[in-house]
Each structure stands twice: as structure tokens, then as C-alpha cells.
Amino acid sequence: MKKIAFILIVMMFSAPSLVMGRSLWNHYSSPPDSLELAKGDSTEYELLVFDTGFDNWFRTNSKPIWYHENEYYRSKNIQYVSNWNNRVIQQMHRPPYEYEIVYDPGTDYGPEVNWKLFWYFKYLEHSYNISLGGIP
């Protein structure tokens, strides 16, 4: 059996948020009811985005998964998560920075999750006209 942990990016009140695994919800409320976990001996992660514009944007703007190595996507995601979470703290949870994102650099989420998360950050940069890759 495989352990399937759904990684959810939830768009609440026009602001993105991210849920990764059972204990990774990092806001003042409980995780959504759609978070499902199955027990097993190996782990797989899947990224589900509940932002209505993301899927179309992703299909038309993303590059193929093989365009960069998994390590590239992982290192960029670590940087993006850090910058995003710093803005959440600075903006005091105001839109669009309402929820912190928990991304464990020591966890191997796999190339598909890292690739899609990378492009989700690109989508946020495009949609909100912000730069998460460097110092604003």
C-alpha cells in the first residue's frame, strides 16, 4: 500500500494558501475536509490547486517537467516559500499573503510536485505582479 498525502493549495478569500500533509496546516483554522491520507509503507505526494485560473495558466505557460532537474525546482521552491512566508509575516496575513506555506526542504516531494509548485509560484508572480524569487 502507498501512503498518499494530498498537497493542497487552497484559494480562500482570493488569496492562495498551501497545505502539505496532515500536520502542516499553519494558520488559525483547521485544515480543509478534503485532506485525505492513506497509510502504507511508501509516500507519494500530489499537488491539487484550487485557484480557478491556475490550470489554464499552467497549461499555456509552463515548460515541460524535464526542462530543469528536480533539484533546481526544489531549490527554487525553498527560496519562494521562504520569501512568501516572510511576506505573510510582514503583511500580517493580509491579501494575498494570508497563509504561510510549509515546505520541508528535507522531504522529497518528487519531481512532479516540485515542478507544479514551482509553476504555481510563477503563476502567483504573474497574477499579483510580484517577485518572489528575489528581494522585492
pLDDT classification of 13: cutoffs 50, 70, 90 = very low
pLDDT tens figures, 69-121? 999 999 999 999 999 999 999 998 888 888 888 899 999 999 999 999 999 99
CB atoms within 10 A of CB 69: 11
What does the longest C-alpha to C-alpha distance in the chain come to?
45
Give the contacts of 82 (CB within 8 A, at least 6 positions apart): none
Q: Which three cell numbers stand for residue 93?
A: 496575513
On whether the pTM is more than 0.75, the answer is no
Q: How many CA atoms lie within 13 A of 107 on its CB side?
A: 17
Main-chain dihedrals φ then ψ at residue 28, nearest 5 degrees: -80, -10
- Mapping DSSP to helix (H, G, I), strand (E, B) and coil, where does residue 70 land? helix
Main-chain dihedrals φ then ψ at residue 47, nearest 5 degrees: -100, 120
> Of 52, 71, 49, 23, nearest to 121 (Cα)?
49
> Of 135, 134, 132, 113, nearest to 122 (Cα)?
132
* Bridge partners (DSSP) listed for residue 16: 11
Instruction: Decide which of 13 and 101 is more confident.
Output: 101
- Mapping DSSP to helix (H, G, I), strand (E, B) and coil, where does residue 20 land? strand
